[in-house]
Structure 1
Amino acid sequence: MGNYSKWYHPYTINEKYSERVAYFSMEFGIDQALKTYSGGLGYLAGSHMRSAYELRQNMIGIGILWKYGYYDQVRQDDQKMGVQFLKKYYTFLEDPDIKVQVTIHNNPVWVKVLVLPAETFGTVPMYFLTTDIAENDYISRTITHRLYDHELPTRIAQSIVLGVGGAKVIEALGGVATYHMNEAHALPLVFHLYEKYRDVEEVKKRMAFTTHTPEKAGNEENEVELLNKMSFFNGLSIEEAREISGAHGTHLDYTLTALRLSKMANGVSQLHGEVSRDMWEGNEGICGIKAITNAQNVKYWQNTELRAALDTNDDEQLVQLKAEMKKPLFELVADQTGKIFKNDVLTIVWARRFAAYKRADLLIHDLHRFFELINREGQPVQVIWAGKPYPYDHGAIGVFNRLIEVSHKHKNVAVLTGYELSLSAKLKYGADIWLNTPRRPREASGTSGMTAAMNGAINFSVQDGWLPEFGRHGENSFLFPIVDTSLPNEEQDLIDYNNMMDILENEIIPAYYVDRKKWVSIMKQSMNEVVGYFSSERMADEYYHLMYQDGK
């Protein structure tokens, strides 16, 4: 093992990627055993760290070690969703004997570092921060307990720990050329750098920023007075903070501030890049916004046997393996719900974070038609839903529980709890159709469809996020026709619903049961095409050349 108390990598740095980069993210989905993620943002960050390792990049990850993770999604006695917060323990993290101090609410708070060595899961070295140590008082210790804590002051404190604490850890390691913020959670970092250099241009030339969502909830704003009381500005006066951030009103917009204090920013698909430029156009002093389409790590996500069958062009073996890959998922369905699913039945999966714009319940818009769909004579359909709502989003939890109620009396409909990396992989192995139903253009990327395609699941999706760059209807996927987004949400939903059901009934189901040659052709085309451009090796390379190097 290496000496992680200094800048260290257990491999020879590839000279193409020699600039030192620190990648800041509030969550990292690296392995099922390490509960430091909630969903897509973390999955993306995890794949980035794996590909950076495989490319031998001069990068480290900076995150937070969440004592209770995000939360544990369980079932209550009535089978509805429950939320548990259980302490997590890890023996595979190393102690590099690094402790730094940050100021929160004008009080000193100690931040300790634990390191995930590169060899453990095949990532660049990962530095995880915790305040849950004996040197801190009880309140300070709880800052790093829960990812996306529902208390606003705690979330502000978490940003300070990640941004300022992370920056001080990097200084202890010897410094970096570029600080990359994956979303604006680490924003106090820019005020720390300004306090250090006293020059906005010196800050900007060191900062790169990725924005991940056009959703208002994902672009945080908070009152300047509250942020000042919480020491968010790292000792700067309110006047100085306003001057360098451009915040002249009562609130500070995290994303806008990051855009003003970075050398370069990016959206996470070509469409999202356009949406982001339109969103922020007209704001004074912002940096350029490029587009680097998200991607996922093939080595981690793709079933190697299925890939081998594809490479040898053995259609019979490919189909047989795909059927066998359903078994672990269907065993879990039986364990959680008492239902026996069949390997030879078309299986539709909807699985991702539960949020209103993602429309998890679009498939049951008309219950009568839904029941006809799943009970078609000779051509039945199995449906599985899974995903984690935010634990305090009662609307999303209500949708999850309604789906459970709908599933109760039907042997071929299931709703699964525990949507984390392990279940995500099982769902992608077991799905025939990977259903994606956001309101366009509100899904910035939606990378779950990439890893589904890697494993023989055919995307059936709204043309949002990454899909416009990949999908060709009837060739490598099935696509909803684009709907006029100026229409009211209810009208968009109805049009999308009718288009979805028409394609399911008239194209997807007949292809699966009658035209197997067409089905296998689409599956193979999807698998072949997704592993090129949508591999995170391409993405990790682009970040270096388009953001860290060309962004100077």
Structure 2
Amino acid sequence: MSDWKRFTQEQKIAYFSMEIGLTNEIPTYSGGLGILAGDTIKSAADLKLPMIALTLASRKGYFRQKIGEDGWQEEFPVEWTPETLTELLPTKILVTIEDRDVKVQAWMYRVKSPTGGEVPVLFLDTDIPGNMDQDRRLTDHLYGGDNEYRLKQEIILGIGGARILDALGFSIKKYHMNEGHASLLTLELLNGSRRPVEDTWDERASWDTHRVMEQCVFTTHTPVTAGHDKFPYELVKRVLGEPVPIALLQELAGKDLLNMTMLALNLSRYVNGVAKKHGEISKAMFPGFEIHAITNGIHPFTWTSPYFVTLFDRHLPSWANEPELLVRVDAIPDNEIWDAHSGAKAYLFQYIEETTGEKLDPDLLTIGFARRSATYKRGDLIFHEIDRLVKMGEGKLQLVFAGKSHPKDIPGKQLIQRIVRKIDALKDKIKVVYLENYNMDVAYRLIPGVDIWLNNPLRPLEASGTSGMKAALNGVPNFSVLDGWWIEGHIEGVTGWSIGPPPTESSVEVNHSTEDVEDLYNKLEKVIIPLYYGDRQKWIQLMKSAIGKNAYYFNTHVMMRRYVTEAYIR
């Protein structure tokens, strides 16, 4: 038996995600969705869960970011070669795109855990001799191209992924769709479950939707309407054809447009949002569907700085695979917590000096803000009143920013440009740096190395916000708007601080920007800065609470145990 075939001997959970972030060497991720997918797979390996994951090869990655002197983002390919890091599986399958056959192959990467668990990840690839040149490029760019390119990619992921699992001999217990990008797999399952039905007025009776539902789990991640992929049926007919009758597809996915989220909702027995609040928002967006909530997490070992790994290993053995042990962090002496944090801070500052030439002061309170540059995340909110910021922060504050904007998101690029211009305006008063090309390696240095993690999105558009969980894991308190996971993790003055009013709204039309700015400045000036410089012991207790009250629970080990009991084995 070929070595890879041993993975086919046990029924699997098939986890489909358009992006997966496992290592920096495999740049098949753009941000939080992909990093979550990678952390999910790593925890599945740690817990020895029978899982297989599928994504696209994305040979040219997302992009490498370069910020010009004028603050404008430029994009360059970040290429990788599956041939050097993965193994080619021997089976190819065909998908039909625009009435022609397109070959798809799979490269396998093994995610191995120290526990002995192992999860195979399949990278689907159309760069195969015999395919037309335009088809060979279909798995090159993550989120690249136009609507047509996106639909073709989603055919390869959903239909191609389901077919290649079948061709390789995998037995699948559940298909877990991480966002709607993969929901065309339901059409492949529908075709496989079709029943012969003689003359009947109900054409749908021949398509066993209930059997498909029993096989499918769907996780929705975005509370932003524009974030749900929709395709005109004219495009669908031309590119996809009719794997099921268009009338049935319209019944399942929307009358006017093929809504990938709606298709997944209609053909999944279990559906969940990624935080309690996000579950509520999703129910409001899609009334009539039963939508649960399983709050996202992060993979503990991946995101703990080397200084805290050493500390936790010494005081809390087995913490990496039993993160609930972090609740005992109070047993670690204060000075050791502070020394570990100081090490993480020095590690970040060394990286900043090497890449930007800027030398930051390790004694100053350092605020970090790094995430995808989208306008609703309000990356420049802290600069709303420059004079007030300078008055409270000169000689006391320094800031570190990072984040990419989607190449076609002009407002997101303008946001980066505004932040870069604020950096120039604050020169010689408050030091601010913007780190280029935010990726897994940069995040690994940045998040543990700051003193506070800032997050101020427009409510209720933050589905979860896993970067804040990474901060808590490293003893960095969150200073955040009450949205996403922070509603569940926040205890005022204990695990961090809130920004703005309580999370009562369910619509983005309720805008608290004025209140948010005022609260942000007030708490910085009157609570956070005085505490950092005036009471080291209390600050360290805050750091311990972030670890012991947040990190012990908001991790992918806890998350995966919930998926198993609530979604996979029911």
Letter in 2 for 1:295: G
- CA distance in structure 1 between the partners assigned to 2:533 and 2:229 by the alignment: 47
Structure 2 partner of 1:293:
295
Identify if the C-alpha distance between structure 1 residues 265 and 213 changes in structure 2 by more than 3 Å, giving closer, same or farther.
same
Instruction: Check whether the contact 2:334–2:537 (CA below 8 A) recurs between aligned residues.
Output: no
Letter in 2 for 1:20: K
Identify if the C-alpha distance between structure 1 residues 523 and 540 changes in structure 2 by more than 3 Å, giving closer, same or farther.
same
- CA distance in structure 1 between the partners assigned to 2:340 and 2:6 by the alignment: 46
Q: TM-score, normalised by structure 1?
A: 0.92
Structure 2 partner of 1:544:
564
Structure 1 partner of 2:427:
410
Q: Equivalent of 1:114, from 107, 115, 122?
A: 107
Letter in 2 for 1:302: T
Structure 2 partner of 1:149:
144
- CA distance in structure 1 between the partners assigned to 2:253 and 2:378 by the alignment: 36
Q: TM-score, normalised by structure 2?
A: 0.89
Instruction: Check whether the contact 1:156–1:232 (CA below 8 A) recurs between aligned residues.
Output: no
Instruction: Check whether the contact 2:501–2:515 (CA below 8 A) recurs between aligned residues.
Output: no
Identify if the C-alpha distance between structure 1 residues 213 and 191 changes in structure 2 by more than 3 Å, giving closer, same or farther.
same
Structure 2 partner of 1:54:
46
Q: Equivalent of 2:449, from 416, 430, 445?
A: 430
C-alpha displacement of 1:531 = 2.8
C-alpha displacement of 1:6 = 6.0
- 1:131-182 deviation per Cα after TM superposition (whole angstroms, max 9, x unaligned): 1121211110111111011311100000000001100111123330111100
Structure 1 partner of 2:398:
382
SS in 2 for 1:404: helix
C-alpha displacement of 1:228 = 1.8
For 1:67-466, what aligned pairs fall within 5 Å after superposition?
Answer: 67-76=59-68, 78=70, 80-90=72-82, 91-119=84-112, 124-172=119-167, 173-198=169-194, 199-231=208-240, 233=242, 235-243=243-251, 245=252, 247-248=254-255, 250-282=256-288, 286=289, 288-303=290-305, 304-307=309-312, 308=314, 310=329, 312-376=331-395, 380-408=396-424, 410=427, 412-466=431-485
Q: Does 1:525 align with 2:545?
A: yes
- CA distance in structure 2 between the partners assigned to 1:503 and 1:374 by the alignment: 12
Identify if the C-alpha distance between structure 1 residues 513 and 123 changes in structure 2 by more than 3 Å, giving closer, same or farther.
farther
Identify if the C-alpha distance between structure 1 residues 97 and 410 changes in structure 2 by more than 3 Å, giving closer, same or farther.
same
- CA distance in structure 2 between the partners assigned to 1:133 and 1:217 by the alignment: 33
SS in 2 for 1:478: strand
Instruction: Check whether the contact 2:59–2:139 (CA below 8 A) recurs between aligned residues.
Output: yes
For 1:488-507, what aligned pairs fall within 5 Å after superposition?
Answer: 492-507=512-527
Letter in 2 for 1:220: D
Deviates more, 1:519-528 or 1:18-27: 18-27
SS in 2 for 1:165: helix
Letter in 1 for 2:45: Y
Identify if the C-alpha distance between structure 1 residues 23 and 321 changes in structure 2 by more than 3 Å, giving closer, same or farther.
same
Identify if the C-alpha distance between structure 1 residues 50 and 246 changes in structure 2 by more than 3 Å, giving closer, same or farther.
closer
- CA distance in structure 1 between the partners assigned to 2:411 and 2:71 by the alignment: 18
Identify if the C-alpha distance between structure 1 residues 519 and 241 changes in structure 2 by more than 3 Å, giving closer, same or farther.
same
- 5+ long unaligned stretches in structure 1: 10-17
- CA distance in structure 1 between the partners assigned to 2:550 and 2:392 by the alignment: 29
Letter in 2 for 1:515: D
C-alpha displacement of 1:80 = 3.8
C-alpha displacement of 1:485 = 4.2
SS in 2 for 1:225: helix
Identify if the C-alpha distance between structure 1 residues 267 and 340 changes in structure 2 by more than 3 Å, giving closer, same or farther.
same
- CA distance in structure 2 between the partners assigned to 1:110 and 1:32 by the alignment: 28
SS in 2 for 1:295: coil
- CA distance in structure 2 between the partners assigned to 1:223 and 1:384 by the alignment: 42
C-alpha displacement of 1:490 = 9.0
- CA distance in structure 2 between the partners assigned to 1:68 and 1:437 by the alignment: 32
Instruction: Check whether the contact 1:267–1:293 (CA below 8 A) recurs between aligned residues.
Output: yes
Deviates more, 1:302-311 or 1:418-427: 302-311
Structure 2 partner of 1:512:
532
- CA distance in structure 2 between the partners assigned to 1:292 and 1:432 by the alignment: 28
- Aligned-residue sequence identity (percent) comes to 35
- 1:224-246 deviation per Cα after TM superposition (whole angstroms, max 9, x unaligned): 2211211165x223123224x15
Equivalent pairs counted in the alignment come to: 532
- 1:25-59 deviation per Cα after TM superposition (whole angstroms, max 9, x unaligned): 00111111111100000111111000100111111
C-alpha displacement of 1:105 = 1.5
C-alpha displacement of 1:77 = 5.1
C-alpha displacement of 1:510 = 0.6
Letter in 2 for 1:236: V
Identify if the C-alpha distance between structure 1 residues 406 and 246 changes in structure 2 by more than 3 Å, giving closer, same or farther.
closer
C-alpha displacement of 1:503 = 0.5
Q: Does 1:473 align with 2:492?
A: yes
